[in-house]
Amino acid sequence: MIGAGGSLGCYRDRVVGFLHDVHFEPVIHLTEKVEVKTNEEEEEQIFKMRAKLFKYVADTREWKERGTGDVRLLKHRTTGKMIVERKIKGFPMKEWTVEIYILDQDGKEKPARCFTKAVYHLHPSFANPTQTFMEPPFRCTNEGWGEFEMVIDLFTTEKGGKQTILHDLNFQAPQYEVVHTVSFKNPSQALQAILRETGPLPSDEERKLKKGADGKKKKSWDVDKIADGLVKLGEDDLLHVIQLVHDHKDDNTYIQNNMDQGEFSVDLYTLPDPLLKMLWDFLIKQGVISA
């Protein structure tokens, strides 16, 4: 354990504790699936009349004209339910649905579990223009006649973990998909595990390449032994290891700091060779591993 509210543990290829200065961006592809329905497939028209259509705005307590259109009385063929429908000329009312998915490495849709909340910012003319959903696929269903560009904010449990995407809602096709690419900076171990459900992360491939290169060239240290030795160190020695990493890391070193959790992570396979040699020599000196 480390004092001052921090904790330190060790994994096969990473040390956990606390530090800063991290930049890691797994790339994930999102797809928005949009479905548009006329909702008239099971209905028959009983009455139709041309009229000026108005919308009541509660904030200003006034009726605002939306245009000239048709007011129709529809009857459901099965249930017999009567429905009043309003259509502005050239812009029939449509029900639309937007859903958010993640695409895996094969392009297949997966639940967007990396997000905990989706907030849709619709056109101001909607009665409820800001709508929040807490469960995948974050399905947002509304009815309207106009096309518009909406802002969608997607949140993770990470500090500052918000992704914002723009979606152009249109009725040119009954169903369509839009793919966005988003990057996660400094994801926690938990978020990385969720992201790996859709395929390997960029750091995973880098680790394999580094490990393969190490296997071809004889080294005076063993990364697996270093990982095993770190878990045997006491608190003061672990603090010394963190300081070594902080002082001798390079631009390729993957370090993650989660101050809220008191967690510091480093991927041993991304450490520069001189630093790995320092750790190796230190662990041998402490007697926790043998050459």
Peptide bond into 137 cis (omega under 30): yes
Task: Count Cα neighbours of 184 within 13 Å in the Cβ-side half-sphere.
Answer: 29
Place of tokens 């750091």: 203
> What confidence tens digit (pLDDT) does each residue in 243-258 have?
888 888 887 787 776 6
DSSP 5: T
> What confidence tens digit (pLDDT) does each residue in 220-243 have?
788 888 888 888 888 888 888 888
> What confidence tens digit (pLDDT) does each residue in 126-151 have?
888 999 999 999 999 988 877 788 99
Domain residue spans of the chain:
9-26+201-286, 29-37+94-183, 43-88
> What confidence tens digit (pLDDT) does each residue in 176-207 have?
888 888 887 777 778 888 888 888 876 666 55
Assigned superfamily of 29-37+94-183:
YEATS domain (2.60.40.1970)
DSSP conformation letters of 187-224: --HHHHHHHGGGS--HHHHHHHHHHHHHHHS--SS-HH
Give the DSSP H/E element, type plus range, for residue 257: strand 255-258
CB atoms within 10 A of CB 286: 15
Is 33 a residue whose pLDDT tops 60? yes
Six-digit token string for 106: 């094969």
DSSP 184: -
> What confidence tens digit (pLDDT) does each residue in 46-81 have?
778 777 766 656 667 777 776 666 677 777 788 777
Which pLDDT does position 115 carry in this prediction? 93
Q: Which amino acid is at 284?
A: I
- Can you give the pTM of this predicted structure? 0.51
CB 223 within 8 A of CB 211: yes
DSSP conformation letters of 230-253: HTT--HHHHHHHHHHHHHH--TT-
Closest CA to 140 of 31, 32, 29, 41: 32
Choice among 117-121, 167-171, 225-229 with the minimum mean pLDDT: 167-171
Which pLDDT does position 7 carry in this prediction? 33
CB 161 within 8 A of CB 114: no
